Amino acid sequence: MKKLIFMRTSLRVLVGLTVLLWVAISCGRESYYVKEVTFPEGATLAEKVAITARVVPTAEQLAWQKMELTAFLHFGMNTFTGSEWGSGKEDPTWFHPTDLDCDQWAKTLSEAGFKMAILTAKHHDGFCLWPTATTEHSVKNSSWKGGQGDVVREFRDACERYGLKFGVYLSPWDRNAACYGDSPVYNELFVNQLTELLTQYGPVHEVWFDGACGEGPNGKKQVYDWDLFRSTIHRLQPQAVTAIMGDDVRWVGNERGWGRETEWSVTVPGLEPTSADLGSRDVLAEATSVRWYPSEVDVSIRPGWFYHAYEDEQVRSLDNLMDIYFQSVGRNSVLLLNIPPDTRGHFADPDVARLLEFGDAVRALYEYDAVVDGDVIWTAQAGESREFAVDPSRSVNVVMLQEDIARGQRIEEFSVEVLVTGEAAGVGQVAGVSEGAAVAGVAEAGAGTWVEVARGTTVGYKRMLRFPTQSVERIRVNILASRDEAHVAKVALFSLPE
Ligand code: FUL
């Protein structure tokens, strides 16, 4: 927990602040609380809101957020048994990729625009994809490469070759380990596994733990030592963010690719990740502390997390992936898209084709920004508006706003209007547009009319909303409510090919 002192905060507020560690960095007259802060005893809602507006990400969280597109690779014993959750009783010889090609994974992901890939080094069945010294249940006893192979190393090296950051999923729940449930003994084994992964494979940028916790074979319930796990990561790979049961990256709360329309990165610890509201003023009113804990949207390109040949026809469509993109990256989240390698050890053809199409579509989206001088450092008070000129020669249908989150997430409500130049293309042309309701009336608007094309609550690192295609000559952004002065970093208009 880190804090920074805000010079304009009243003495009363400052005196009551309790934090474990403080770091002073300042930016102009403002100072910030890095990652986490406990409210002073008796703080009013207004004081809590003012403090919350100054909570900022760590450098690692900020770097993570800027990646936007990250990939998950579920590969392991389940790939060969056709399961989603193995029992732990599988024979290690069953793991036998016929043509493992980690370069194909990394090359495809890199071409599709992904910045990091997280591999399931161990799933719940306990089978380890690297030749660990901690268990016999690993690749070293498989039939693959005569037990000499190491999937973690092959993939890690491939990531290096293709400029991808590398992350590991290490399941705390282990259905193979005999000591699971004998808490201190298993925790030590788990830390040893973490230590191997974090000391033998170069830089790691994300460590992903889910919280699943079954009963051990000895009938005992495992109590995980999360503090020990996290401190091991911080000690060995300080640049790595810890996800889900970690304290840097938050599970969005579903596996359907659905980020909230109101997605606060500063949230109240202890709330269920599935809650609809993790950070509004209503929630702050009851809170004693807040934490920068941004959302990660994990979803699979197929129905399952692991590869099943019968799902080859069920790879998500491009439209569906683009909806997911707008619902995740476009809603202040990072997308973690799972692509499961098959029994050869390849991404299957339909997945490769879809990933490359998806990469092309995302690149095409950003190809041309019609706003003139939309890279701004606009310090906006609540109620303030700003107009920008727009190149009218291109029609547009996506608006993007960004806050400079290194100075906090503050915008609570905004709207966007455009001055229409040409014929409106009609409401509802963009399939699956949840924001469509906000733009009713666009079709009727004639040239020279200001019309509202988007309205929303939070912005954060990035907020994108789609609207029916328009040719416009100006855009007006209205900051309707904000926790403090908002630092708007970017206003853009793009065209999503239909
Ligand atoms: C869950 C696991 O139980 C699933 O198998 C999958 O790994 C998903 C990403 O996390 O908690």
CB of residue 298 inside a 6 A radius of ligand 1: yes
pLDDT at site 445? 60
pLDDT-derived band at 436, boundaries 50, 70, 90:
very low
CA torsion, ordered 246, 464, 318, 392, to nearest 10 deg = -160
CA–centroid distance, 173 to ligand 1, in Å, is 11
CB of residue 305 inside a 6 A radius of ligand 1: yes
Q: Whose CA is nearest to atom 1 of ligand 1?
A: 210
Q: Whose CA is nearest to atom 6 of ligand 1?
A: 305
Tell me how far apart the alpha carbons of residues 48 and 43 are, in angstroms, rounded to a whole number. 6
CB of residue 391 inside a 6 A radius of ligand 1: no
pLDDT at site 21? 36
Mutation pick for ligand 1 pocket among 118, 305, 307, 338 (CB with most ligand atoms within 8 Å):
305
pLDDT of 141 above 60: yes
CB of residue 212 inside a 6 A radius of ligand 1: yes
Are 262 and 412 in contact, with CB atoms under 8 Å apart? no
Q: Whose CA is nearest to atom 10 of ligand 1?
A: 210
Query: Which residues are paired to 387 by β-bridges?
Result: 476
CA–centroid distance, 346 to ligand 1, in Å, is 21
pLDDT of 15 above 60: no
pLDDT of 226 above 70: yes
Average pLDDT over residues 206-234: 91
Tell me how far apart the alpha carbons of residues 207 and 246 are, in angstroms, rounded to a whole number. 8
Burial of residue 207, with CB atoms counted within 10 A of its CB: 0-12 exposed, 13-18 middle, 19 or more buried: buried
DSSP labels, 169-206:
EE-S--SS-TTTTSHHHHHHHHHHHHHHHHHSSS---E
DSSP labels, 231-289:
HHHHHH-TT-EEEETSSSBEE-S-SSS---SS--SEE-TTS-TT-S-SSSHHHHHH-SE
CB of residue 208 inside a 6 A radius of ligand 1: no
Mutation pick for ligand 1 pocket among 210, 251, 252, 308 (CB with most ligand atoms within 8 Å):
210
34 vs 5, which has greater pLDDT? 34
pLDDT of 24 above 90: no
Tell me how far apart the alpha carbons of residues 293 and 275 are, in angstroms, rounded to a whole number. 14
CA–centroid distance, 210 to ligand 1, in Å, is 7
Atom of ligand 1 nearest to the CA of 211: 11
Closest CA to 125 of 162, 169, 84: 84
CB of residue 125 inside a 6 A radius of ligand 1: no
Span 328-361, pLDDT tens digits: 999 999 999 999 999 999 999 999 999 999 999 9
Query: Which residues are paired to 400 by β-bridges?
Result: 464, 492
pLDDT at site 216? 80
pLDDT of 444 above 80: no
pLDDT-derived band at 9, boundaries 50, 70, 90:
very low
CB of residue 211 inside a 6 A radius of ligand 1: no
Q: Whose CA is nearest to atom 2 of ligand 1?
A: 210
Atom of ligand 1 nearest to the CA of 120: 7
Joined together, the tokens standing for residue 216 give: 């051990």
Span 30-80, pLDDT tens digits: 789 999 999 999 999 999 999 999 999 999 999 999 999 999 999 999 999
Summary mean pLDDT of the chain: 90
Average pLDDT over residues 99-116: 98
pLDDT of 136 above 80: yes
Q: Which of 18-27, 246-255, 262-271, 482-491 has the lowest average pLDDT?
A: 18-27
CB of residue 210 inside a 6 A radius of ligand 1: yes
Q: Whose CA is nearest to atom 8 of ligand 1?
A: 305
pLDDT at site 5? 28
Q: What are phi and psi of 400, to 5 degrees?
A: -125, 130
pLDDT at site 29? 59
pLDDT of 25 above 90: no
Overall CATH class of domain 68-249+294-365:
alpha beta
Span 181-211, pLDDT tens digits: 999 999 999 999 999 999 999 999 999 998 8
- CA pseudo-torsion sign 479, 482, 487, 490: negative
Atom of ligand 1 nearest to the CA of 212: 11
CA–centroid distance, 163 to ligand 1, in Å, is 26
CA atoms within 13 A on the CB side of 4: 25
CA–centroid distance, 255 to ligand 1, in Å, is 9
pLDDT-derived band at 220, boundaries 50, 70, 90:
confident
Average pLDDT over residues 98-125: 98
pLDDT of 383 above 60: yes
pLDDT at site 498? 76
Closest CA to 193 of 175, 213, 177: 177
pLDDT at site 395? 94
Overall CATH class of domain 378-494:
mainly beta
Percentage of the chain beyond pLDDT 70 is 89
Q: Whose CA is nearest to atom 3 of ligand 1?
A: 212
pLDDT-derived band at 422, boundaries 50, 70, 90:
low
Query: Which residues are paired to 379 by β-bridges?
Result: 487
CB of residue 182 inside a 6 A radius of ligand 1: no
Tabulate helix, strand, coil % of the chain (nearest 5): 30, 30, 45
Joined together, the tokens standing for residue 12 give: 């009363």
Tell me how far apart the alpha carbons of residues 180 and 445 are, in angstroms, rounded to a whole number. 65
pLDDT at site 210? 86
Average pLDDT over residues 276-303: 98
Could you say which DSSP state residue 485 is in?
S
CB of residue 296 inside a 6 A radius of ligand 1: no
Tell me how far apart the alpha carbons of residues 437 and 425 are, in angstroms, rounded to a whole number. 16
Domain coordinates in residue numbering, the chain? 2-55, 68-249+294-365, 378-494
H or E stretch including 46? helix 45-52
CA torsion, ordered 79, 328, 62, 493, to nearest 10 deg = 140
Are 168 and 200 in contact, with CB atoms under 8 Å apart? no
Are 36 and 58 in contact, with CB atoms under 8 Å apart? no
pLDDT at site 398? 98
